[in-house]
Chain A
Amino acid sequence: SSELTQDPAVSVALGQTVRITCQGDNLRNYYANWYQQRTGQAPVLVMFGKNKRPSGIPDRFSGSSSKNTASLTITGAQAEDEADYYCCSRDNSGDHWVFGGGTRLTVL
């Protein structure tokens, strides 16, 4: 299967730690990328490859992966982290990209 599965919604108290997960068989062979999408805006890359963080992304964002699961962790969540988060990876053919269904993060 080339599908990526995410929990639809997660919440975290301000300043606490939250983990957002993404599961898929293709993650055994390919890295996951993570995109943050605030309401009404285009997505922004926040984590990619082997847990790499793009320039300008705060170091409270980190990534990890194990077997068929990739995770995005926010340590010390801030109000501005409230957004939809999408994982994305190659499908099993390697020629196409697939997105997870997205996780809506609410910061309480």
Chain B
Amino acid sequence: QVQLEESGPGLVKPSQTLSLTCNVSGVSVRGDSYYWTWIRQPAGKALEWIGRIYISGRTNYSPSLKSRVTISLDTSSNQFSLRLSALTAADTAVYFCVREAYDTAWYVFDYWGQGTLVTVSS
């Protein structure tokens, strides 16, 4: 079955760059029916879409984060990654890696990782 699992540091200092990786199993990231997506959620707050990548390399980023975000795809390892620079305390959140799939004429986030907590603090 499809599984996604986030990995990365739980604690990062302000102004530094966060790097997270999502290991995907049960499906190839080369599939042309999927986008590979990052979503985050500060404690007690709403979900926030960060961005996504397609097998072609095409990316879309949240306008509010675009200047600081890079999402990349590693087909050899069946993984995708998030880099978020110039961190502040406001970036403290649970980060989810997610598959966006096409289903019955629309797109959905159908598989989610369990989420990884990232705390930005000195």
A residues with CB within 8 A of B:
31, 33, 35, 37, 42-45, 48-50, 52, 54, 86, 88, 95-102
- Which of B8-16, B22-30, B41-49, B71-79 forms part of the interface with chain A? B41-49
Verify B46–A100 contact, CB threshold 8 A: yes
Contact of B49 among A45, A98, A102 (CB under 8 A): A98
Verify A99–B112 contact, CB threshold 8 A: no
**Chain A residues whose C-beta falls within 8 Å of the C-beta of B47 in the assembled complex:** 35, 37, 43, 86, 88, 99, 102
**Chain B residues whose C-beta falls within 8 Å of the C-beta of A42 in the assembled complex:** 96, 112-115
Residue in A closest to B64 when the chains form the complex, CB atoms: A96
B63: shortest Cβ distance to chain A, in Å? 7
In the bound complex, CA of A88 to CA of B37 (Å): 14
**Chain B residues whose C-beta falls within 8 Å of the C-beta of A95 in the assembled complex:** 60
Using a Cβ cutoff of 8 Å, how many contacts connect chains A and B?
58
B residues with CB within 8 A of A:
46-49, 60-63, 96, 103-106, 108-110, 112-115
In the bound complex, CA of A102 to CA of B48 (Å): 11
Residue in B closest to A37 when the chains form the complex, CB atoms: B47
A89: shortest Cβ distance to chain B, in Å? 10
Verify B109–A43 contact, CB threshold 8 A: yes
6 additional A-B residue pairs with CB within 8 Å, beyond A43-B47, A48-B108:
A42-B113, A43-B109, A45-B108, A48-B106, A52-B106, A88-B109
Verify A45–B110 contact, CB threshold 8 A: yes
**Chain B residues whose C-beta falls within 8 Å of the C-beta of A100 in the assembled complex:** 46
**Chain A residues whose C-beta falls within 8 Å of the C-beta of B63 in the assembled complex:** 96
**Chain A residues whose C-beta falls within 8 Å of the C-beta of B112 in the assembled complex:** 42-44
**Chain A residues whose C-beta falls within 8 Å of the C-beta of B104 in the assembled complex:** 48-49, 52
Verify A33–B105 contact, CB threshold 8 A: no
Verify B49–A49 contact, CB threshold 8 A: no
In the bound complex, CA of A49 to CA of B110 (Å): 13
Verify A45–B109 contact, CB threshold 8 A: yes
In the bound complex, CA of A42 to CA of B105 (Å): 24
Task: Name which of A35, A42, A48 has the most chain B CB atoms within 10 A of its CB.
Answer: A42
A35: shortest Cβ distance to chain B, in Å? 7
